[in-house]
Structure 1
Amino acid sequence: MGFEGEVWRLMRQEEPVGEIVIDEADFPWLNGRFVPAPTFAEVKPWFDESLALLEAKEYERFDDSYDRIADTLSLVGPSGPVAEFLLHIRSGRAWFRWSDEPFDDV
């Protein structure tokens, strides 16, 4: 798809939290190297917790945990901010999917 090499930014309001340099696209997921900004340390525990809950198949608790990420941070692609995203970060890697429209609550 043409995503490789793109740089996506994770933001908290106007403050950068990190960048994702895309090196793999498996639509709808994009994967890449995560380059944290100094402020990432403040939100890293949120990502650790949400991923641990997801891996433990505690989906309801995951949803509640992930809400903090979605409500506080934004993801900005090369074309601008996206409406909604699902992002995981671990060990210098990030993988995510996004939508220009809000996800359907199922």
Structure 2
Amino acid sequence: MGFEDQIWRLERQGELVGEIVIEESDFPWLHGRFLPGPAFPAMEPIFARSLALCEAEDWDAFDTAYEEIAKTVSLASPSGPVAEFLLHIQGDTAWFRWSDDPFDE
């Protein structure tokens, strides 16, 4: 089954952070158009910081920053919530990988 055109939802405490319309899959990553929801403005600086640390390859700081995302938001595929994910958002673009089981420590 292809992922293109699927809509994945990002939520914070039941409030919509945004939706991702999948446009491309490049295993293990999915890429898509990000449609911000009402809860996104509060989360945008956290995603921006996480992405900047990733691009700077400051992995310790990235891990700490990303923990806030992982504890604050949930990601759901069309068939339901996923156990764990790694998500980046930049402008109207999002890319992520996910697992139905927790990632290895």
Question: Which interval holds the TM-score relative to the shorter structure?
Answer: over 0.9
- How far is 1:91 from its partner? 1.4
The equivalent residue for 1:83 is: 83
Aligned counterpart, 2:54 = 54
Give the number of equivalent residue pairs: 105
SS at match of 1:101: coil
- Tell me, in whole angstroms, the C-alpha distance in 1 between the residues paired with 2:4 and 2:66: 26
Instruction: Mark the runs of 5 or more structure 2 residues left unpaired by the alignment.
Output: none
1:12-65 per-residue CA deviation (whole Å, 9 max, x = no partner) reads 121111000000000110000000012100000000000101111100000000
Q: Which of structure 1's runs of 4+ aligned residues deviate more than 2 A? A: none
- Equivalent residue number for residue 74 of structure 1: 74
Amino acid at match of 2:79: S
User: TM-score, normalised to structure 1's length?
Assistant: 0.97
Partner of 1:104: 104
Deviation at 1:3, TM superposition (A): 0.1
TM-score after normalising by structure 2 = 0.98
Could you list the runs of 5+ residues in structure 1 that have no partner in the other structure?
none
Q: Distance in 2 between the 1:39 and 1:84 partners? A: 20
- In 2: Cα distance, 1:102 partner to 1:13 partner: 20
Query: What amino acid sits opposite 2:77 in the alignment?
Result: G
Asked whether the 8 Å contact 2:15–2:38 carries over to 1, the reply is no
